[in-house]
Amino acid sequence: MTQFHVPTDPATFVPDRFAGQVMLVTGGGGGMGLACATRAAREGAAVVLADINEEAATAAAAEISGAGGQALGIGADITSRDDCTRMVESVVEAYGGLDVAINNAGVMDGGRDGQPAPLHLANDTYIRGTIEINVLGTMYACAAELSRMVEQQRGGAIVNVGSHTALTGSVGTPAYVASKHAISGLTRAIAMDYAPHGVRCNSVNMCATDTPMLERAMEFVRSRHTEDKPDTPRATMKSSALIGRVSTVWEQAAVILFVASRDASYMTGALVASDGGWTAY
């Protein structure tokens, strides 16, 4: 592995890049969300970690606070518009405003014991769960965040976490692919509507990243191979990205936080591929 393919050091950060800013991270209880919140706190942000697992969110926030950062963990179900409104109200109550929102919460399998499958075999648990969380949940979160940003009249930055499947197709997981394509369209629509308010909105689209969600997905794919079902995604699935390994949450956090930062001041409506070259071929 060359030095240019070595994963980002988890200890890396840019001092004071988010000093004086308030950041909300959905799905902040673990994985990429926690990595984003941890690094952003090191860079001076006051961070609120929202997660449907309130215990995980509060534990993660305590860890960040224990390391000297400003952090608050709260429970929130983004599929509830009222919960999203309360989520943003909690941010404002704690830190006085909202400058950056990273909408990371999402699922690949429906989140409720769903089973990804080609569409004619997919059950409603998988289809509805995936669409409700990834599409409606992200829309409700964005709506609450934008309402506050417009009211503040000082602009802001929103980053929606997408997927390489937002930029291309993928076998065996149609609702997930559809949901992430929806995030691409939503991101561009928000960028257009809210540029006059000084709000930037972009998405970051990663390939396989070392998270619990990826492990669940891989277990499912392995089970389909073992059972040798005829609908198993095999023949048309790529074997790897051009960078032949999965990414780390810290690599993705580095890209997400760059896009959220003032260093990316001329970026809006962009669908950023942080996918190891997956969508390049």
CB within 8 Å of 155: residues ≥ 6 apart? 149, 197, 198, 199, 200
Do the Cβ atoms of 39 and 55 come closer than 8 Å? no
Is 166 in contact with 129 (CB distance < 8 Å)?
Answer: no
Count Cβ neighbours within 10 Å for each residue of 175-213 and write b for 16 or more, e otherwise.
bbbbbbbbbbebbbebbeebeeeebbbbbbbbbbbbbeb
- Is 176 an active-site residue? yes
Active-site pick, 95, 126, 140, 176: 176
Write out the DSSP string of 170-198: -TT-HHHHHHHHHHHHHHHHHHHHHGGGT
Rounded to an integer, what distance in angstroms lies between the CA atom of residue 25 and that of residue 13? 17
Residue 133 DSSP class: I
Residues annotated as part of the active site = 176
